Amino acid sequence: MLSAEDIRHGFGGRDVLRGVSLRLAPGEVLGIGGASGAGKSTLGRILAGRTRPEGGRVRWQGSGLPDRGPCPVQHAPQSPDAATDPRWTVAKILANGGPPDAGALAALGIRPDWHRRLPGELSGGELARVSLARMIRPETRVLICDEITAQLDALAARDLWQALMPLARARGLALIVISHDAGLRRALAARDTVLTDGRLCPA
Amino acid sequence: MIAALTLASPVRRDLLIRGGLALGLVAVLLLAALALPPEGPPVSALSRNLGPSLAHPFGTDSLGRDMALRTALALATSIKVGLFAAVLSTAVAVVFGLAAASHRLADRLVGVATELALGLPHFVLILLIAYAAGGGMAGVILGVGLTHWPRLTRVLRLEAQTVAASDYVAVSRGLGRGPVWIARHHLAPHLLPQIVAGFVLIFPHAVLHEAGLSFVGLGIPPHLPSIGVILADSLRALMAGHWWVAVFPGTGLMLVALTVERFGEALRRAADPTEGVA
């Protein structure tokens, strides 16, 4: 479904990704780990079509990712604060890609009384749920979770994953769990990989 | 921008009070100028050089004209010139700021222009432009208007670049939103409050520089009411001990500039979503 072939990318003369290839089947949960600066987030952004790689290509069902319209691969960044416009209400954030998915909102525990608030008026865990919920849409087939619980306390992180995983399974959504936390990846992902020296190796 | 103005936060209360004061003062002066004869108070040989009294609270000048009326008319002129100049400066800043945020070469050019304009002595540049434009009302507006854009340009350029590079814009793009939609829903709500605050903050500068230009004789022509003209005229009166001819118009100018400046500061603080109204 989603595949990457020989992805190469660097910053300022430093090669971060040196030929990364992967395949993701529908509904699969893949873990990607690695040290800080190993290129986990860069790879995540490339897979979602947010960054154009210097070499190699990302394929979606045999061709490139669509240029316009909603992308089937959604990238959820680490900080929900940075990923939500501070001037938008929660209602507007949730309706960004179209009318919000009531089932997803309920599954992620998004309360109706949040809708009139601004992102700054929600806790980190609450905002993380809002940020995720808007990406779970009929068009979305892959959700790249890029350290989405790294800024949360253990309890809020556990609650979030416990809400997200059944929802993803019910929707047939494939997940890429990017995290430096090997324990978390092992608990969530059927297949776990690690980025080392710019290459993706089985963990 | 100011969605629900309640007295809830001190930032909002500040904004309401300062905004009311500034807008009230400006409105009163503009209305007074409309009600008064445009040629100013009549010349009177009988009431020359009178000190402040009940009949003439600001005293009279060497031609027997009432200084309170002259001051009000002059302030109204300054406000009008200040408004035109501030609109011009803000417009330049918006165009430059948006151009810089959308194109790399434009960004370079705007950066150089901004540094250049900030590096040159402010008043010298105003003098040059006003002189080149032939002086008078148009000269003042052009001179002041074409020199007050750099600070706001910097603010808008930075803000636009920050928004354009933000994660939330990337998310919107991923959800299928195009550039026009993003400009309308992400960029505009962030820039508008900055533009309004910037405009209000340019205004007092424009008013003060108008007075400065008119004072050195390159601004408002001497037959029109203007604080700069009044202050230039008052030099000789001051020697004769007629302090009121300079003190009241000068204080009036300072008061207008200060009230509007404080309103602008309150607006800028309220424009910050982490601090004020969204």
> Which tokens sit at A148?
């989405």
- Tokens representing A117 are 């608030």
Q: Which long-range contacts (CB under 8 A, 24 or more apart) does A166-172 make?
A: A166/A107, A167/A104, A167/A107, A167/A108, A167/A136, A168/A29, A168/A143, A169/A27, A170/A107, A171/A104, A171/A136, A172/A26, A172/A27, A172/A141
Subunit contact B170:A134, Cβ cutoff 8 A:
no
CA distance linking residue A102 with residue B77, whole number of Å: 59
Of B166, B174, B273, nearest to A71 by CB-CB distance is: B174
Cα distance between residue A31 and residue A174, in whole Å: 11
* Chain B positions in Cβ-Cβ contact with residue A87 (cut-off 8 Å): 189-190, 273, 278
Taking the CA of residue A125 and the nearest CA in chain B, the distance in Å comes to 17
Residues B119-145, mean pLDDT to the nearest whole number: 88
- List of chain A residues whose C-beta atoms are within 8 Å of the C-beta of residue B278: 86-87, 118
**pLDDT: is A104 or B1 the higher one?**
A104
| Cβ–Cβ contact B166 with A under 8 A | yes
User: Residues near A99 by Cβ (< 8 Å), separated by ≥ 6?
Assistant: none
pLDDT digits (tens, 9 = 90+) for B10-26: 888 889 999 999 999 99
Concatenate the DSSP letters of all residues of A129-191 into one string: HHHHHTT--TT--EEEEESTTTTS-HHHHHHHHHHHHHHHHHHT-EEEEE-S-HHHHHHH-SE
- Give chain A's domains with CATH numbers: 2-159+173-202 (3.40.50.300)
Q: State the nearest Cα–Cα gap between B109 and chain A, in angstroms.
A: 24
Q: Sorting pLDDT into bands at 50, 70 and 90, what band is B6? A: very low
Q: What chain A residue is nearest to B274 in terms of C-alpha separation?
A: A120
SS3 A19: strand
Phi, psi values for residue A200, rounded to 5°: -95, 120
Residue B274 forms contact with A (CB below 8 Å): yes
Task: Give the mean model confidence (pLDDT) for residues B107-132.
Answer: 89
What pLDDT shows up at residue B2?
43
Q: CA A98, CA A140: separation in Å to the nearest integer?
A: 12
Distance from CA of A96 to the nearest CA of B (A): 7
Q: How far is A193 from chain B (nearest CA, A)?
A: 25
Q: What is the pLDDT of residue A9?
A: 93
Angle at B124 between CA B120 and CA B125, to 5 degrees: 65
Select from B171, B172, B181, B184 the residue whose CB has the most chain A CBs within 10 Å, as the one to mutate to test that interface: B171
The pLDDT value recorded for residue B8 is: 61
Are residues B175 and A70, on separate chains, in Cβ contact within 8 Å?
yes
SS3 A79: coil
Q: Which of B168, B177, B185 minimises the CB distance to A83?
A: B168
pLDDT of chain A, 203 residues: tens digit per residue:
899 999 999 998 888 999 999 999 999 999 999 988 888 999 999 999 999 999 999 999 888 888 888 999 999 998 999 999 999 999 999 999 888 888 899 999 999 999 999 999 999 889 999 999 999 998 899 999 999 998 888 999 999 999 999 999 999 999 999 999 999 999 999 999 999 988 999 97
Q: What is the pTM of this model?
A: 0.81
In the block, residue with structure tokens 């020697």: B239
Does B175 reach chain A within 8 Å, measured CB to CB? yes
Element of type H or E holding A41: helix A40-47
Rounded (10°) angle between helices B67-102 and B10-35: 130
Structure tokens at B253: 């100018």
Nearest-angstrom CA–CA distance, A160 and B79: 57
Residue of A nearest to B171 (CA): A83
Confidence of residue B64 (pLDDT cuts 50, 70, 90): confident
Handedness of CA A168, A174, A176, A181 (dihedral sign): positive
Q: Where are the alpha helices (DSSP H) in chain B?
A: 10-35, 67-102, 104-119, 122-132, 136-145, 150-164, 167-174, 179-182, 188-215, 227-239, 244-271
Edge-first strand listing for the sheet containing A199-202:
A73-76, A142-146, A174-178, A29-33, A191-196, A199-202
Pull the structure tokens for residue B117. 């304009």
* SS3 state at A32: strand
CA atoms of A61 and B156, how far apart (whole Å) = 42
CB contact under 8 A, B190 and A87: yes
Chain A residues whose C-beta is within 8 A of a chain B C-beta are: 48-50, 68-71, 74-75, 77, 79, 82-88, 96-97, 118, 120, 131, 134-135, 137
Nearest residue to B197 (alpha-carbon basis) of B95, B50, B93, B44: B93
pLDDT at position B277 is 44
Judging contacts by C-beta atoms under 8 Å, the chain B residues touching residue A120 are 273-274
Sheet containing A14-24, strands listed edge to edge, beginning at the edge strand earlier in sequence: A14-24, A2-11, A55-60
> What is the average pLDDT across B251-265?
93
Mean predicted confidence (pLDDT) in B35-58: 84
Phi/psi for A191 (5° steps) reads -125, 130
The verdict on B176 touching A (C-beta cutoff 8 Å) is yes
pLDDT of residue B251 exceeding 50, the answer is: yes
Model ipTM? Answer: 0.90
Is there a contact between B175 and A97 if contact means CB atoms under 8 Å apart? yes
Size of interface A-B (CB pairs under 8 A): 62
State the Cα–Cα distance between residues A105 and A99, nearest whole angstrom: 11
Query: Got the DSSP string for B26-51?
Result: HHHHHHHHHHS-TT-SPP-GGGTTPP
Residue A44, H or E segment: helix A40-47
For A84, nearest residue in chain B (alpha carbons): B168
Instruction: Please report, in angstroms and rounded to a whole number, the separation of the first and last CA atoms in chain A.
Output: 22
Mind giving me the DSSP string for A83-124?
A: HS-TTS-HHHHHTTTSS--HHHHHHTT--GGGTTS-GGGS-H
Q: Could you tell me the domains of chain B?
A: 11-34+65-271 (1.10.3720.10)
Minimal Cβ distance to A87: which of B170, B177, B273: B273
